[in-house]
Amino acid sequence: MTLKPNPTFIALTGPTTSGKTELSLALARILEVEIISMDSRQVYKGMDIGTDKASAGVRAMLPHHGLDLVSPSERYSAGRFARNARAWIKQISNRKRVPVLVGGTGFFLRAITEPIFAEPPMDSSRVEALRRYMTKLDSKAIAKWVKELDPERAALAIEGGPQRINRTIEVALLTGHPLSRWHRESPPHAVALTGLVALLDLPREEMDRRIDERVTHMVDEGLVQEVRSLLGAGYALDAPGMTATGYREVARYLEGDQTLEEAMEEIRVNTRRYARRQLTWFRNQLPSSVRIIDATASIELQAGAVLEAWLEVSERTTPEIFSDEAGL
């Protein structure tokens, strides 16, 4: 039997509302772990209710990393996550604990298991000037640009939203080569990390039911007040963080363009669409070694299944030495 490198983390992933956070807490009761958020929206300060962050009480009991890193006006890329996550994984492992990555942002996971290329240098002043210009264009014009500049990546960029579209355009215009070519031909900036990837599987009917419940819960917990506070702090709706589902819809309610119930229904619809995009990504992009966890089973059974899989892969692997040369 060929032995593989020792896994350095557990990743709990799955569509929104599949119970990743609850499972991570159950796992913490049977393993010495620290949590790394793998959610592209939870990095934003002041965006707690709409991104369903772990509560302050939970964070006080169990160390969490990757929360509240930047303001909603800043961009936070998969490459930046990979650099941060590698440092957190090393630190947690040095403390003899298991790093547990929790979240549904697939590109964050892939950034450490299949490292992306070293980003090409771009003049920051030109990047900012281009971003200011693109804010004046409508969505149809932006889509046309991305299709012309990088047809190979266009569909992925458009599906990924404004941040991914803008980056695709920026790289193509400011480096002279499309982003798809950089990904294909440039060497990765670090070696790949290995880990146990567990995918929480939830029937769509149950997922939709949970989404409906979560939207109601978020509003009851103060989502409207949270959005009002962010807008009052000067964050525009085109700010990177404010593009998260739930924030624009509530902002339109606050502006008088729709009722609160209409905003809530729009959030439900958009969240279901997002969850289906997640499912498509998981189906096509996760490794064949992924462990499927029945998200309808009791939380004890789910945690036991993850623990069993972790012990299994650990026994079949060889020791791995952490080093700066290895990209950690």
- Structure confidence by residue, pLDDT tens digits, 198-252: 999 999 999 999 999 999 999 999 999 999 999 999 999 989 999 999 999 999 9
Give the pLDDT of residue 316: 67
Is the pLDDT reported for residue 57 higher than 90?
yes
Among 263, 317, 256, 238, CA closest to 50: 263
Mean pLDDT of 34-40: 97
- DSSP code of residue 251: H
Give the pLDDT of residue 245: 95
Give the pLDDT of residue 1: 40
What one-letter code names the amino acid at 50?
G
Confidence of residue 84 (pLDDT cuts 50, 70, 90): very high
Mean pLDDT computed over every residue of the chain? 89
Q: 88 CB contacts (<8 Å, ≥6 apart)?
A: 34, 36, 65, 66, 99
Q: Which helix (H) or strand (E) holds 268?
A: helix 260-285
- Please list the residues that pair with 138 across neighbouring strands: none
Burial 292-302, CB ≥16 within 10 A → b, else e: ebebeeeeeeb
Give the pLDDT of residue 264: 98
Rounded Cα gap, residues 1 and 176, in angstroms: 46
Is the pLDDT reported for residue 14 higher than 60?
yes
Rounded Cα gap, residues 44 and 75, in angstroms: 9
Whether this prediction's pTM lies above 0.75 is answered by yes
Rounded Cα gap, residues 25 and 57, in angstroms: 12
Give the pLDDT of residue 192: 83
Confidence of residue 319 (pLDDT cuts 50, 70, 90): very low
Give the pLDDT of residue 241: 94
Rounded Cα gap, residues 214 and 176, in angstroms: 44
Mean pLDDT of 53-68: 95
Rounded Cα gap, residues 39 and 15, in angstroms: 11
Q: Which residue has the tokens 């189906």?
A: 283
Side by side, which strands form the sheet with 291-294? 64-65, 33-37, 98-102, 10-13, 196-201, 291-294
| 19 and 279 Cβ atoms separated by less than 8 Å | no
Rounded Cα gap, residues 272 and 274, in angstroms: 5
Is the pLDDT reported for residue 296 higher than 50?
yes
